[in-house]
Amino acid sequence: MPQSHSPAGLEFGPRRKSFDIEAALATDWHGGNPFRTAWFNSMSMLFPLGEKFFIDSVCHFTDQVEDPQLLAEIGSFRAQEATHRLQHQKYNELLCDLRGYDLVRFEKNERARMEWANRELSAHRRLAGTVASEHLTAIMAHDMLTRKDTLVDADERIASLWSWHGVEETEHKAVAIDVYLAVGGTVKIRRLAMIHSTIFFFKDTFRNLCIMLQLDGKLWSPRVWLSGLNFLFGKPGILRRMFIPWLRFFRKDFHPWQNDNRHLVDEWQREEERAQTTAPLSS
């Protein structure tokens, strides 16, 4: 019996890209808005440790997967996530060097929690956490790629990095859950994992955001927080728009490819090809 439930013909792998983001990271690169800039920078801080956890939790079960298609997808998932980890590690180190942040401070809580999970939780529960986290990143990617207002006015070099990341999250969004189903994961544990993952994702993101705003001298600015809350919950309301897709995860028969959004990958690829053909030649 096939264990992969991906659409027929889906193939994906890592794209070896480079991003010239150093100059932009020294600024409030998201349209000069300190909250929006700190929001994305704060999320980036979570990815290097998180991506390693995701890779480890999925690959732990490779020997229990018999479907060649799913085995191939696990390999592609691992390669994409490893590339994301490297790009965001570079992003985070540059950001901290340029803005006087302490990378160890940002990673401290997440690192301790990952160590606890690896020590105290079963492999199935760690995989359930990855399934939930992959859905969070997938629905954020879908919203970002569908609604162009998420990165409007952002520096195009950093926006390009986030769009690339979103495209690859879309491609491999079902690998973790297909492995989870293949090894007997339950609906109950999957649902509980989503509650826990959501709490810790936003707890860590807001913690990092507050640290950044404090170091930049903008933590207590009403204007900054009003603009930020509007961005998250008002207009465009990027978190408000995610609520219904988030709820769908709790359906008993949930699967990420019930939303077949491969057209977003195709659109991004066409835009990349147009950008390459129209880019001025270097002298």
283 confidence band (pLDDT: 50, 70, 90): very low
54 touches 134 (CB < 8 A): yes
2 confidence band (pLDDT: 50, 70, 90): confident
Residue 280 pLDDT greater than 70, yes or no? no
Residue 282 pLDDT greater than 50, yes or no? no
pLDDT score, position 279: 63
What fold characterizes domain 28-110+117-270? Answer: Ribonucleotide Reductase, subunit A (1.10.620)
What's the average model confidence in pLDDT over 97-108?
A: 97
Percentage of the chain beyond pLDDT 90 is 93
pTM summary value:
0.95
Domain spans of the chain? 28-110+117-270
pLDDT tens-digit map of 120-132? 999 999 999 999 9
24 touches 187 (CB < 8 A): no
pLDDT score, position 281: 55
pLDDT score, position 271: 92
Widest CA span in the chain: 60
Closest CA to 271 of 151, 173, 172: 151
1 confidence band (pLDDT: 50, 70, 90): confident
What's the average model confidence in pLDDT over 34-63?
A: 98
What's the average model confidence in pLDDT over 15-39?
A: 96
Closest CA to 184 of 123, 248, 119: 123
Q: DSSP secondary-structure letter at 18? A: -
Cα distances (Å, whole numbers) of residue 161 to 35, 36, 201, 255: 19, 16, 20, 27
Cα distances (Å, whole numbers) of residue 169 to 4, 96, 144: 17, 25, 12
What's the average model confidence in pLDDT over 199-227?
A: 98
217 confidence band (pLDDT: 50, 70, 90): very high
What's the average model confidence in pLDDT over 210-221?
A: 98
Cα distances (Å, whole numbers) of residue 189 to 61, 90, 186, 214, 218: 17, 34, 6, 37, 40
